[in-house]
Amino acid sequence: MKRITEPELMVDPEQVLAYGRADFEEPHSNFIKLLQGFCHKPESINTVLDMGCGTGDITFRLGRAFSRTRIDAIDGSSAMLDFASEMLEREPEIKGRISLIHVSVQEFLPDKYYDLIISNSLLHHMPDPSDFWDAVRRVSSPGTRVFVMDLIRPETADEAMKLVERYSPNEPEVLKRDFYNSLLAAFEIDEVKLQLEAAGLGYFKTERASDRHVMVYGVRE
């Protein structure tokens, strides 16, 4: 099945509310669990960049799990960040260590490099995936850890619909629609490997993390 792109940014209020209220406990807990397995010495992680933080759920989970980190969380959707900002007010223990920044990954030019770069489900939103990997290179330096998770494009549209019904049976229709469209916009694992090779990051490891997720991880050389 050929890739069908979807909008890069989520700006519709209905979308934002659906994502903010959705139950992502299983995939987001798994993200943090796998990340902790990758970062064997969390005390060495001082600065983190979360690329495409959305409504902030993974950002906040990371802040709780890595208690010494300072996190810059970026997203191109001001609506998503507004929701994240409201949620962050309810997290006094991590609030002072998290900065929410409205900027696209293509335009982000930090004044520092990061110890760790994470991203969840942003890659498939990029019309040109090279923009994503170029950003990873731009904000990292040798020794930076990189951990990315994203959806895998199924072989057929029917398979995509079955995944939607399996994992989002009780979610609002807008979330089901977006999940389906995101599956169609995602990349196959071999396509991700080719992207990494083209970006000079071919030494990163690429593995299937679930029946619908791929993870890419490694240390920048």
Say if 2 falls within a structural domain: no
Number of domains in the chain: 1
Instruction: Say whether pLDDT at 30 is over 80.
Output: yes
State mean pLDDT over 202-217. 97
Say if 87 falls within a structural domain: yes
Q: What does 18-66 look like in DSSP terms, one character per residue?
A: HHHHS--HHHHHHHHHHHHHH-S-GGG--EEEEET-TTSHHHHHHHHHS
Say if 7 falls within a structural domain: no
Element (H, E) at 101: strand 98-102
Q: What is the distance between the alpha carbons of residues 69 and 94, in angstroms, rounded to a whole number?
A: 9
What is the token pair recorded at 190? 């071999």
Element (H, E) at 133: helix 129-138
Element (H, E) at 151: strand 145-151
Q: What is the CATH number of the domain that holds 46?
A: 3.40.50.150
Q: For residue 221, what are the β-bridge partners?
A: none
Q: What is the distance between the alpha carbons of residues 81 and 99, in angstroms, rounded to a whole number?
A: 10
Among 200, 60, 41, 48, which Cα is nearest to 112's? Answer: 48
State mean pLDDT over 136-151. 97
Among 81, 138, 70, which Cα is nearest to 107's? Answer: 138
Containing domain of residue 121, as a range?
13-219
Say if 6 falls within a structural domain: no
Say if 1 falls within a structural domain: no
**pLDDT score recorded for residue 11:** 61
**pLDDT score recorded for residue 141:** 96
Say if 5 falls within a structural domain: no
- Residue 21: band (very low, low, confident or very high) from pLDDT cuts 50, 70, 90: confident
Say if 8 falls within a structural domain: no
- Residue 58: band (very low, low, confident or very high) from pLDDT cuts 50, 70, 90: very high
Instruction: Say whether pLDDT at 87 is over 80.
Output: yes
Reported residue count of the chain is: 221
Say if 3 falls within a structural domain: no
